[in-house]
Chains A and B, each alone.
Chain A
Amino acid sequence: MVDAARKPNESREPLVRLSAMSVDFGRHAVLRDINLDIPRGQTLAVIGESGCGKTVLLKTIIGLLRPTRGQVYFDGRNLAALGERELTRQRTRFGFMFQQAALFDSMTIAQNVAFPLRQHTQKEPQEIQGIVLARLAEVGLPENVLRKKPAELSGGMRRRVGLARALALEPEIVLYDEPTTGLDPIMSDVINELILSTRRQHPVTSVVVTHDMRTAQKVADRVVMLYPLARLRPGEPQAIYDGPPQAIDSAADSRVSQFVRGEARERLMELRQQTNGGESWTNE
């Protein structure tokens, strides 16, 4: 089933294309008119403030959420136009590392990593076990975690198991939802190194959603910043970090600069002005 779903489009068109995509939750617009191409093999970092819709963007790319307007194309296919069965087949080409790993509490670590393999392949249990061990070794986890439950592991170990599970089916694209949030600097860097080594070992396209500038700088080929209500500002990671990128309007420029340098003073004043003006900044 997995192999049948993987008929890669040989053209040079981007693996993922978002075309004028908007996502609303009821009356609340979360993403508006997003246009974004993600070329094959590229690692894209999406940065932005908390609550600006980064996770929604990822979930829309994999088809967990449907865009209110516009299209999401994956390998030339409009995901919104696919039936449930075909969408499920296409999802086997994705790996998704969730923010808190989202491991299944009721299963052991081995069962968690084996889950996609048992779900979508006809491999023998011995072969599955071999793949599980290989994936866990790739993320630096020893064999003795196999029989443990997720609750028995630390946050960093759970993230690594989440990554091993995301890679189990050798996906063509891996989506990372804030992979380093809540981890200490050393463990954050371990995750960053794993993202890089994953890319070296598997020919994958990656989308890393983060508000950790060190992660964006280290792992990404390209960085886009997602503003509240969704304008995208593309740039090279180093350019964004070192100074104002070219050809952006002054308001956006200032917002990028504040975000990248973690300067809160101007932002706080802006939020207070909005509040005094009757606008609720919490709606962002």
Chain B
Amino acid sequence: MSSAPNILTPNTRPPLGGLLGRIVDWIADLGGLMIGWMSGLGNITLFTFGTFRWLTTRLPRKETILPNFYQIGVLSLPVVALTGTFIGMVLVVQSYMQFRMLNMETRLGAVINMSLVRELGPVLAATMLAGRVGSSMAAELGTMRITEQIDALTSMGANPIHYLVVPRFLACLLLIPALTIVADFMGIAGAFFYAVTLLGVDSHHYLENSQHFVGAFDLFAGVFKSCFFGAAIALIGCHRGFHCDPGAEGVGKAATSAFVHSFVLILFLDLILGIVLDGIYYALWPEAPKIL
């Protein structure tokens, strides 16, 4: 009579004992992980090329695009505005005492507005969009995948990337700059309200310092970065949905992984684009003071 199979370890390879076995297992696991990463990277690259190919050949109809613009842009406005306002006020709360000790509280506006316009506005708007829209895209398209709706689209001669991905990509790409500007504005307004109305900072000097330190390039840099964030959110959200595992667990994982991957990529892109934009800034204005 055969012995009961070990159901807890599905690996059928005969185990190597001792240190050698552990090293071989470790190398095999690492190899598997690398293959998975490379395959995933190749897959999302092809997905991105497919999206750009449709963008340059035929745009979807307006009946397909407009609902996505509404869902992604208009419905994200309240949450982005609210987050921006509170972040502006929190920044004042956190930095006011230090500035007051140096008698420089009227400079608060300069520091806070610069942080908001260049970094926090775009990153916060993108994070909110990734949480609200990116995971929702992954869940929606994942459900469509497992209920064969994407197959149904294809069987009726519609290309799923053209029909489902391109409108979402366009909505994220074109509307995230507007959301970023809203987050910037609300953050600046929230910080001004808290500093001037509640903490009694002189409004004239607060505004004057803000104007001297924040320039058009700062606003441009934030908005420019946000376009990349929007594109990344749409592509990752849609890709996760398209490659969703079966079942409710698969949809849940797709939604979570869409947010996590988008967030990590947003931070990575923020760093890279920050360095590039700084390089451009100092190339255009070489006399500007440098950090390093």
Interface residues of A (CB under 8 A from B): 59, 62, 64, 84, 88-89, 91-92, 94, 96, 98-100, 102-105, 115-116, 119-120, 165, 276, 278
A104, B157: Cβ atoms under 8 Å? no
A96, B155: Cβ atoms under 8 Å? yes
Q: Please, how many angstroms separate the alpha-carbon atoms of A143 and B155 in the complex? A: 26
- A276: which B residues are within 8 A, CB to CB? 2
Q: Please, how many angstroms separate the alpha-carbon atoms of A276 and B157 in the complex? A: 47
A278, B157: Cβ atoms under 8 Å? no
Interface residues of B (CB under 8 A from A): 2, 5, 143-144, 147-149, 151-159
Nearest chain A CB to B243 CB, angstrom units? 14
A99, B148: Cβ atoms under 8 Å? yes
Nearest chain B CB to A155 CB, angstrom units? 13
Q: Which residue of A lies closest to B67 (CB)?
A: A106
Q: Please, how many angstroms separate the alpha-carbon atoms of A104 and B154 in the complex? A: 13
Q: Please, how many angstroms separate the alpha-carbon atoms of A104 and B64 in the complex? A: 13
B157, A119: Cβ atoms under 8 Å? yes
Picked from A99, A100, A116, the residue with its CB within 8 Å of the CB of B157 is A116
Q: Please, how many angstroms separate the alpha-carbon atoms of A224 and B154 in the complex? A: 27
B156, A119: Cβ atoms under 8 Å? yes
**What 6 A-B pairs have minimum CB-CB distances, sorted nearest first?**
A102-B152, A102-B148, A96-B155, A91-B157, A88-B157, A116-B156
Nearest chain B CB to A12 CB, angstrom units? 27
Q: Please, how many angstroms separate the alpha-carbon atoms of A116 and B157 in the complex? A: 8
A102, B151: Cβ atoms under 8 Å? yes
Pair count A-B, CB < 8 A = 53
Q: Please, how many angstroms separate the alpha-carbon atoms of A168 and B237 in the complex? A: 32
Query: What are 15 residue pairs bridging A and B, where the CB atoms are less than 8 Å apart in the complex?
Result: A64-B151, A64-B154, A84-B159, A88-B157, A91-B156, A92-B156, A94-B155, A96-B156, A98-B152, A102-B149, A104-B144, A105-B147, A115-B158, A119-B157, A165-B156
- A91: which B residues are within 8 A, CB to CB? 154-157
Nearest chain B CB to A206 CB, angstrom units? 15
- B144: which A residues are within 8 A, CB to CB? 104-105
Q: Please, how many angstroms separate the alpha-carbon atoms of A26 and B149 in the complex? A: 24
Q: A88-B159, A89-B157, A91-B157 are in contact. Are A96 and B152 (CB under 8 A)?
A: yes
Q: Which residue of A lies closest to B159 (CB)?
A: A88
Q: A276-B2, A278-B2 are in contact. Are A104 and B149 (CB under 8 A)?
A: yes
Interface centre among B2, B148, B153, B157 (most CB of A within 10 A): B157
Q: Please, how many angstroms separate the alpha-carbon atoms of A217 and B159 in the complex? A: 36
Q: Please, how many angstroms separate the alpha-carbon atoms of A192 and B5 in the complex? A: 46
- A98: which B residues are within 8 A, CB to CB? 148, 151-152
Nearest chain B CB to A281 CB, angstrom units? 14
Q: Please, how many angstroms separate the alpha-carbon atoms of A103 and B2 in the complex? A: 49
Q: Please, how many angstroms separate the alpha-carbon atoms of A278 and B144 in the complex? A: 37
Q: Please, how many angstroms separate the alpha-carbon atoms of A198 and B159 in the complex? A: 27
Nearest chain A CB to B7 CB, angstrom units? 11
Q: Please, how many angstroms separate the alpha-carbon atoms of A248 and B134 in the complex? A: 55
B157, A59: Cβ atoms under 8 Å? no
Picked from B149, B153, B154, B156, the residue with its CB within 8 Å of the CB of A105 is B149
Q: Which residue of A lies closest to B158 (CB)?
A: A119
- A88: which B residues are within 8 A, CB to CB? 157, 159
Nearest chain A CB to B72 CB, angstrom units? 14
Nearest chain B CB to A131 CB, angstrom units? 15
- A278: which B residues are within 8 A, CB to CB? 2, 5
A100, B148: Cβ atoms under 8 Å? yes
Nearest chain B CB to A6 CB, angstrom units? 13
Nearest chain A CB to B178 CB, angstrom units? 24
Q: Which residue of A lies closest to B150 (CB)?
A: A102
Known pairs A104-B153, A119-B157 / 13 extra A-B pairs, C-beta < 8 Å: A59-B151, A64-B151, A88-B157, A89-B157, A91-B156, A91-B157, A98-B148, A100-B147, A100-B148, A102-B152, A104-B152, A165-B156, A278-B2
Q: Which residue of A lies closest to B156 (CB)?
A: A116
Nearest chain B CB to A90 CB, angstrom units? 9
- B156: which A residues are within 8 A, CB to CB? 91-92, 96, 115-116, 119-120, 165
Q: Please, how many angstroms separate the alpha-carbon atoms of A168 and B144 in the complex? A: 21
Nearest chain A CB to B150 CB, angstrom units? 9
Q: Which residue of B lies closest to A177 (CB)?
A: B148
Nearest chain B CB to A2 CB, angstrom units? 9
Q: Please, how many angstroms separate the alpha-carbon atoms of A5 and B147 in the complex? A: 29
Q: Please, how many angstroms separate the alpha-carbon atoms of A133 and B151 in the complex? A: 25
- A84: which B residues are within 8 A, CB to CB? 159
Q: Please, how many angstroms separate the alpha-carbon atoms of A96 and B106 in the complex? A: 69
- B2: which A residues are within 8 A, CB to CB? 276, 278
Interface centre among B5, B149, B152, B158 (most CB of A within 10 A): B152
Q: Please, how many angstroms separate the alpha-carbon atoms of A66 and B148 in the complex? A: 17
B157, A120: Cβ atoms under 8 Å? yes
Q: Please, how many angstroms separate the alpha-carbon atoms of A170 and B149 in the complex? A: 20
B149, A92: Cβ atoms under 8 Å? no
Picked from B147, B157, B158, the residue with its CB within 8 Å of the CB of A102 is B147
Q: Please, how many angstroms separate the alpha-carbon atoms of A119 and B61 in the complex? A: 10
Q: Please, how many angstroms separate the alpha-carbon atoms of A104 and B156 in the complex? A: 12
Q: Please, how many angstroms separate the alpha-carbon atoms of A120 and B154 in the complex? A: 13
Q: Please, how many angstroms separate the alpha-carbon atoms of A47 and B2 in the complex? A: 36
